[in-house]
């Protein structure tokens, strides 16, 4: 696994890739850090595209990502993470909306748990998932970063 760290408007980010694609986008502090980080190799070459696309997003020049991604998780987690990519830039869905789109309308808590373990935030935009009352709820990077990301995308926050 190769990684790079760089400054962004929301703090230092670390991206990690393997031969299959982007595996992680990590904040300075993460609720569920990956294992074996000490085995990763610092190398900017394989991570260049992910870093550049994230910086373009922060500069307001990119609304979608075109990156090969690679993640490990349960079948339900993977379905949830893949569905996150369907949430349009500048829009939000509730956890209930996401559960319905997954065909499991009663799995709101499971959706929340899977969302909280998303290894590729921002690229798979879990920050666009909010409470059904419009409130900001859990986010691995912290609620101030979630708020910043949504405001960056032009989302009007009434309950934040």
pLDDT, tens digit, for every residue of 58-73? Answer: 999 999 999 999 999 9
Whole-number Å distance between alpha carbons of 12 and 127:
17
Sign of the torsion angle spanned by Cα atoms 107, 110, 114, 115: positive
Strand partners, 41: 2
Topology adopted by domain 75-152: Arc Repressor Mutant, subunit A (1.10.10)
156 against 78, higher pLDDT: 78
Neighbours of 73 (CB within 10 A): 14
32 against 132, higher pLDDT: 132
Residues of the chain within CATH 3.30.160 domain(s) are: 2-58
Architecture of domain 2-58: 2-Layer Sandwich (3.30)
Q: Which pLDDT score is estimated for 135?
A: 83
pLDDT band at 159 (very low <50, low <70, confident <90, very high): low
Nearest by Cα to 80 from 109, 37, 44? 109
Element of type H or E holding 70: none
pTM for the model: 0.91
Judge contact between 21 and 71, C-beta under 8 A: no
Question: Which phi and psi (to 5°) does residue 7 adopt?
Answer: -80, 145
pLDDT digits (tens, 9 = 90+) for 85-141: 999 999 999 999 999 999 999 999 999 999 989 999 999 999 999 988 888 887 888
Residues of the chain within CATH 1.10.10.10 domain(s) are: 75-152
**Annotated active-site positions, please?**
126
pLDDT band at 38 (very low <50, low <70, confident <90, very high): confident
């Amino acid at each position: 696994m190769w990684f790079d760290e760089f400054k962004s408007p929301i703090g230092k980010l670390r991206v990690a890739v393997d031969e299959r694609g982007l595996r992680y986008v990590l904040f300075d502090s993460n609720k569920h850090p990956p294992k074996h980080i000490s085995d990763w190799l610092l190398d900017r070459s394989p991570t260049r595209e992910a870093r550049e696309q994230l910086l373009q997003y922060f500069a307001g020049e990119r609304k979608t990502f075109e990156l090969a991604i690679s993640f490990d998780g349960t079948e339900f987690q993977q379905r949830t993470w893949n569905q996150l990519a369907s949430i349009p830039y500048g829009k939000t869905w509730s956890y209930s909306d996401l559960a319905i789109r997954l065909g499991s309308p009663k799995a709101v808590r499971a959706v929340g748990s899977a969302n909280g373990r998303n290894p590729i935030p921002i690229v798979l935009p879990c920050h666009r998932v909010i409470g059904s009352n419009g409130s900001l709820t859990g986010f691995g990077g912290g609620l101030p970063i979630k708020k910043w990301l949504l405001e960056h995308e032009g989302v009007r926050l009434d309950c934040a």
